[in-house]
Every structure is written in C-alpha cells, then in structure tokens.
Structure 1
Amino acid sequence: MSSAQSEKRSQSQRREATRTAILQACKEIMAEEDFVNSKTGTIAKRAGVAEGTVFLHFENKQGLLRALVDDFFVTMHGNIAEIHQAHSCPKQRLKAMAQDYIEQLEAQWPLARLVVSTHARYGDELTQQSLRRHNRRYTQFFIDALDEIKQQEVDCDIPSQVFRDALFGGIEHFAIANFNTGKNHDSQQFLDQLWQLLFRGILSRESKAAEQNNIEQKLDQIIKKLDA
C-alpha cells in the first residue's frame, strides 16, 4: 500500500471514528433529555468535537436523527436474519421476531422511542421517507410469516396487515406506557397475553381441534351405548 493510500485509509478511519463518537454522544444525551430539546453544541461537547463537526458529518439535526434511525434498524435487520435462520416454522419465527422487537425497544428505548414517536414520524420529508423505507422492509418479515400461517389456516380471511398493525400497535403502546417510567412490568407475560389475544381461535386451530375431538368422543360414547 502506498503512503497516499495509507493516508486516505487513515483519514477514512478517523472520519468514521468521529461519526461514531457523535452518534454515541447523542444516544447518551437522549437517555437524559428529549431529542427535540437537545442541543447540537451539547452533543458535540460530549463527543469531544467542535459543533461544526457535527454539521460536517450530518448536515443538520434532522440528518443526525436519520442516522440514529438507520443505526437502530441495522441492529433490527441483523437480528431478523438470525431468526430466519433459526426458525423454519412461521409461528415460532413470528414469536421470536416479536420477542426480539420488544427486547430491542427496551434495551435501546432512548433511541427506539424516536422510531415509535412523533419526533421521527413527523420529521422532515427525508426523515419520513427513511423511516417508511425501514418500516416497510422490517414489517414485511412479519407479514411474510403471517401469510405462511394463513396458508395453513384456510378459514382465516383477515388480512395479514391487520394482524401486523395490531401486533406492532400493542407492543409499541406497552413500550411507551412502561419503559423508562419506573413502572413494574413483565414483557414476557405481555407478549404471551398478546399472542393469545391475537391468535387463539383466529390463526390457531388448536382450540377448534380440541373442541372437535371432544365432540367426537361424546359421539363415540353415544354410539357405544346404542350398540350395547
């Protein structure tokens, strides 16, 4: 490698390190105060750079918000890929994705709340476009799993998008009501209850099968009595 190439690579690494430091500083400050009220000067000071450096890397505060949203979804998409490899059964895959989603919301709530709040949803047009693009890609995995389940549950004519919206709406409402509020909460219990609410008797035919078996058993008993 020539000295020029080495210098170029070194500059690129320093630039990436600075960008990472700014994002990390922003995440730390977001845990202390609302993103809307945070100041770029405070973010720059926490990152150990000049305020102008923030604008050099992210153009403006909305650009910083888009980078944070991108950072959040990089983790989410990576987890989805691992879940797909681990679960061939669509029901198990859907459960695992829902579990990961609520865990990531709680683990990264200062950042995640931007994704589920009006700050990101009603940012500038570029921010909205970025969020819609990420959401479409991410939620498509859930719709695909739901479509696979519906193929096995031929009596279900409810659109997969309805289940998707109910699932995400329930999880996000739970997150907003509980995370970082000091309230005692049980995420696993909530997910189990949400799963039962959405899928028992709708996308699961286990209850129907049990009821059918019970009827058949009673009929067998009647036939035996008649034969006797």
Structure 2
Amino acid sequence: MVYRRTKKVDQKLEARLQAIMQAAKEEFARHGFYGTSVKDIARRAGVGIGTIYLYLRNKEALFTALVNEAYEMVLERIAQARKNTAGGRQKLQVSMEAALAVLQENRDLARVMLVQSPAGHPAVAEQLYDLLRRLTQLVEEDVLEGIQRKELPPQDAHVAALAFVGTFYQVVISWLKEGIPSDLTLAGKELVAYNLRGLGYDLEGDIGNG
C-alpha cells in the first residue's frame, strides 16, 4: 500500500523547514558561514541535526538557499514596483526604493547575502555579483530612456548606472555593518534624489523624490 501524505503532514513539514531556514538565517547573519555549524542551526531551530539533513544536504546548501531567497525577493519586489510605472525617472525611483524596502524588512537575510556571502563562500558570492549586474542593467536601460526622451543630458549610461548602483550598495553595507543610517528606507529617499540629480534630472521643488 502506497502511503500518501496528508495536508496536515505537509503543513507540519513545511513549518519545520521554515523554522530551520529562520534559524540558519539568524546564525549565518551573526557568525558567518565558517563560524556557523549545522549543530548551531539545529539547536536554534529546536530540531535534531538529522532532521536538517532530511531537507538540505549540508551547510552550504542551507547558505545557498538563503542567498537564493534574498536574491529572488529583491528582484520580485522590483518587478512588481516597475509594473505600472512609466518613464525612466519613475522606474529608477521605484526600483531602488523597492530594493531598499526589502533589505530593511529582512535585515538578517540582507546580512547573509551582502556581508557574509563574499567573505563566507566565493561561489555563492557570484549570485551577489549577478544581482548587482542585473540592477545595473535596469538602471542603464532607464538612463537611456531618459536620454532618448531628452529628460537627461547625453552621457555614458553604463558608467552612470554603475555609479548609481554603487552608491546604494555602499549605503546598505554601512547600514548593515555600522548601523548608519539607522533607517535605510528614509535614507534611501535622499539617496534616490541625490542620484537623480547626479544623472541630470531637475528636482527643483521636488526634494526627497516627492
């Protein structure tokens, strides 16, 4: 007789996996990849070590799964924000504000992706590079749109996009490592305005991206 899992069993298994992922997120965020053990994660999740291996084959798989979660969350939020937005300037604004909002809401996950990944596991850090590359590509497209509409002066859109994304990255890293700024989304509004002016948008009377 073939055993079929009930909905209740599936829900229990999913809840246990979420507890493991949450515990892994907290441990990696505080102690990094090498400073965290599967035993630490199991203890925080309230499960046996063997239970973790029923879901994920090793510590690296757990770490990778968390980075994937953060990566997809940022891109999905940006896609949703841009869906009904027209114009390069508006796309730039909502994209960066959406990304910062995700990071603000998921600080431990942000720390795993942006701080622990590069130092913790080089292969996983490739995903961070890919995320930054995709963000830069979006910004470059928006800058080109602004130039084509004559809303922006002629410029090297790729260099401008690198600078635009780079300022956000540095502010986020400072927030994660030093707690400055204390409110990332609030600081992000000022940063968006700063970068839009740098590109050449006229924000007179429009301080703070209003």
Return the alpha-carbon distance in structure 2 between the equivalents of residues 43 and 202 of structure 1.
Answer: 45
Is the contact made by 1:106 and 1:175 (CA closer than 8 Å) also made in structure 2? no
Per the alignment, residue 24 of structure 2 pairs with 26
Is the contact made by 2:28 and 2:36 (CA closer than 8 Å) also made in structure 1? yes
Per the alignment, residue 84 of structure 1 pairs with 82
- Residues 101-126 of structure 1: CA distance to partner in whole angstroms, max 9, x if unpaired? 22222222222123222x31355454
Per the alignment, residue 102 of structure 1 pairs with 100
- Residues 158-202 of structure 1: CA distance to partner in whole angstroms, max 9, x if unpaired? 233x23332232223222323474556454564344344433263
Per the alignment, residue 46 of structure 2 pairs with 48
- Residues 63-114 of structure 1: CA distance to partner in whole angstroms, max 9, x if unpaired? 1111001111222122122212231222112111111222222222222123
Is the contact made by 1:163 and 1:198 (CA closer than 8 Å) also made in structure 2? no
Q: CA deviation at 1:204?
A: 2.1
Q: CA deviation at 1:132?
A: 3.9
Q: CA deviation at 1:16?
A: 3.6
Return the alpha-carbon distance in structure 2 between the equivalents of residues 56 and 156 of structure 1.
Answer: 56
Higher mean displacement: 139-148 or 90-99: 139-148
- Residues 128-149 of structure 1: CA distance to partner in whole angstroms, max 9, x if unpaired? 3444444444543333323322
User: Is there any run of 5+ residues in structure 1 with no aligned partner, and where?
Assistant: 208-228
Q: 1:52 to 1:101 in 2, by over 3 A?
A: same
Return the alpha-carbon distance in structure 2 between the equivalents of residues 111 and 96 of structure 1.
Answer: 21
What TM-score does the superposition give when structure 2 sets the normalisation length?
0.75
Counting matched residue pairs gives: 202
> Which letter maps to 1:128?
A
User: Is there any run of 5+ residues in structure 2 with no aligned partner, and where?
Assistant: 205-210
Per the alignment, residue 148 of structure 2 pairs with 151
Alignment of 1:65-214 (within 5 A): 65-117=63-115, 119-124=116-121, 126-153=123-150, 155-160=153-158, 162-179=159-176, 181=178, 185=182, 187=184, 190-200=187-197, 202-204=199-201
What TM-score does the superposition give when structure 1 sets the normalisation length?
0.70
Is the contact made by 1:150 and 1:203 (CA closer than 8 Å) also made in structure 2? no
Per the alignment, residue 15 of structure 2 pairs with 17
Give secondary structure in 2 for the equivalent of 1:66.
Answer: helix
Bigger CA radius of gyration: 1
Identity across the alignment (%): 25
Is the contact made by 2:25 and 2:112 (CA closer than 8 Å) also made in structure 1? no
Higher mean displacement: 163-172 or 37-46: 163-172
Q: 1:50 to 1:201 in 2, by over 3 A?
A: closer
Q: CA deviation at 1:25?
A: 1.4
Q: Which structure's relative contact order is higher, taking Cα pairs within 8 Å and 6+ residues apart?
A: 2
Is the contact made by 1:30 and 1:38 (CA closer than 8 Å) also made in structure 2? yes
Return the alpha-carbon distance in structure 2 between the equivalents of residues 5 and 77 of structure 1.
Answer: 39
> Which letter maps to 1:19?
L
Give secondary structure in 2 for the equivalent of 1:6.
Answer: coil
Return the alpha-carbon distance in structure 2 between the equivalents of residues 89 and 49 of structure 1.
Answer: 50
